[in-house]
Amino acid sequence: MIGIIGGTGVYEIVHHGRIKSRKTIRTPYGESPEISLFRLHDREVAFIPRHSPGHDSPPHMVNYRANIWALKELGVRQIIATNAVGSLDRNIKPGDLVVPHDFIDFTYSRPSTFYDERTVHVDMTEPYCSDIRSALTASSAAIDGGVYVCTEGPRFETPAEIKMFQVLGGTLVGMTGIPEAVLARELEMCYASICLVSNYAASISPTRLTIKEVFEVMEKRKEDLVGVIEDAVKRLDHD
């Protein structure tokens, strides 16, 4: 089964008619948001809205462990996640889709592991799953590669922080990619993200940032984003 984690603005992925059932999973970390189950290109798919509409969890309060645990419980082995991001690179503009190959973690207050009781160090040499990354970039609608910098939020960044992220080699900045990617690795699921650039990062953008523009770009580009994901599902091998 393939899991799809919908970020800001992506609360559904198929027409309601195709949804077979909806489930909420009880996990050791609390209840998951409602997950939609359906078939797409001959694959079973489980769609989970990261922010749990209705509760509308902000990025630092998302129950990442419950979301990932619930997908594992359903038998998910591969996860495609969507994330809204700001761009740190003038060549990557609002509306672009990017599939990052690496990340830098600047979060600090989130439960970030399933392993609090024993010592487990997962390998992060290849932080995102290459099979899913290839499936997402095969159609050339998405830029292949980039370094995702995850901040704690929920505020946007300062100009000095953005300059630092650029010096460190960051390409994109967002608030929701971590610890999700790490938790998926801890449960041995193959995970990759497709990021939609909603704005140039603070101080690169000529205007102050608002969540309104994030939603506006999402709304404009959502159909293409969903198209790339559906195409990737078709390309992914059954395993």
Binding site for ligand HPA (CB under 6 A): 84-86, 151, 156-157, 173-175, 198-199, 201, 209, 214
| Residue nearest ligand HPA, CB atom distance | 86
Distance CA 46, CA 173 (A): 27
Specify burial of residue 155 (Cβ count, 10 A radius: 0-12, 13-18, 19+).
exposed
Nearer to ligand HPA, 129 or 209 (CB): 209
Minimum distance of ligand HPA from residue 229's CB (angstroms): 18
Minimum distance of ligand HPA from residue 222's CB (angstroms): 14
Minimum distance of ligand HPA from residue 31's CB (angstroms): 26
Peptide bond into 154 cis (omega under 30): yes
Nearer to ligand HPA, 37 or 204 (CB): 204
Phi and psi at residue 119, to the nearest 5°: -90, 115
Report CA torsion sign: 79, 84, 86, 89.
positive
Nearer to ligand HPA, 94 or 127 (CB): 94
Nearer to ligand HPA, 78 or 151 (CB): 151
CB of 97 within 8 A of CB of 192?
Answer: no
Minimum distance of ligand HPA from residue 139's CB (angstroms): 23
Minimum distance of ligand HPA from residue 184's CB (angstroms): 20
Nearer to ligand HPA, 30 or 159 (CB): 159
Using DSSP bridges, classify how beta strands 190-200 and 97-99 pair: parallel, antiparallel or unpaired.
antiparallel
